[in-house]
Amino acid sequence: MYKIAEMVRASFVIAKSYKINLIFSIIALFFTTIPFYFAAHALQPTMGKVVQQQGGDFFGFVLLGLIAISLLTTSLTGVYNSVSGSVTSGWLEAQMGTSTSIPVLLVGMAAYDFIWTLVRVSILLIYGRILGVHVHWAGLLLGAPVLFLLCIAYFGLGLVLASMFLAFRTIGPAQSVIMMGSTLLGGVYYPTEIIPGWIHWLSVVIPTTYGLRAVRQLVLNGSPLIAVVPDVLIMGAIAAISLGIGALTFRTAFNYSRQRGTLSQY
């Protein structure tokens, strides 16, 4: 934990040195939210009924979708970006020389991005509250671990992407496919119920379908935990499977890379 904390600290010092970037990333959140606010209000008469079970406020529904997608993007790309950047710069090779275990290095390298995203989504939630979203704070406490499970599922997929990079030096369109699939079919901006039947079956295999539905019911509707247990259990299973596959794939790709001599190719 101490090692990860120091890695996060160093990343923070680096991020702090880009002052303009830091300020703009906060301001940009506000401008990202506003169009969604107006669009959601325009669609409220129609969509309000569809999202009744998840609070009935369509802007709140979309806001939670935005929050989740920010966290999931970071969970997915954080470890891949760290691995690809550190392999090509020789940074991973240098860190390996410290005999720190690879899992600690991976978590440490991706941790700052995740923490920073948490800060940004917290600000997003405050914006939402100011713009009239009704948040059940007790539900938020219950929803946070569910969101965390969702992040673990995407972290597992991120490990698979990092493995693809180690093995093939490219991930092709995999990252875009995963994020686009999750956004379009996972109920980020609209409930999965309105997706046409011929493609609806795909949303069943997308983790956000379960995770976001559960989080919205807890945070926006104030539902008790018991109401979302099935979704949470499915989420937990998906997270466990994803992390397991990710870890196994990464280990295999890491050894393959050592065998091929591409672990420190720059």
Provide the binding-site residues for another protein, judged by CB under 8 A.
2-3, 5-7, 10, 13-14, 17-18, 89-91, 93-101, 105, 255, 258-261, 263-264, 266
- Tokens 């720190």 correspond to what residue? 100
Nearer residue to another protein within complex by CB, 85 or 224: 85
Tokens found for residue 241 = 């499977």
Nearer residue to another protein within complex by CB, 104 or 202: 104
Residue 226's closest CA among 105, 142, 154, 100?
142
Smallest gap from Cβ 47 to another protein, in A, equals 45
By the 8 A CB rule, do 65 and 57 touch? no
Smallest gap from Cβ 7 to another protein, in A, equals 7
Smallest gap from Cβ 78 to another protein, in A, equals 17
Nearer residue to another protein within complex by CB, 25 or 100: 100
Tokens found for residue 129 = 């509250």
Nearer residue to another protein within complex by CB, 6 or 193: 6
Q: Which residues contact 44 (CB under 8 A, 6 or more apart)?
A: 57, 58, 59
Cα dist. 28→60, 67, 112, 130 in Å? 19, 14, 19, 16
* CA dist., res. 241 & res. 160, Å (int): 12
Smallest gap from Cβ 251 to another protein, in A, equals 13
- Tokens 């959140």 correspond to what residue? 29
Nearer residue to another protein within complex by CB, 17 or 137: 17
Smallest gap from Cβ 118 to another protein, in A, equals 22
Length of the chain: 266
Nearer residue to another protein within complex by CB, 189 or 256: 256
Smallest gap from Cβ 107 to another protein, in A, equals 13
Q: Give per-residue burial for 37-60: e unless 16+ CB within 10 Å, then b.
A: beebeeebeebeebbeebbbbbbb
Smallest gap from Cβ 266 to another protein, in A, equals 7
N-terminal to C-terminal alpha carbon distance within the chain: 30
| Beta carbons within 10 angstroms of residue 101's beta carbon | 11
Nearer residue to another protein within complex by CB, 52 or 255: 255
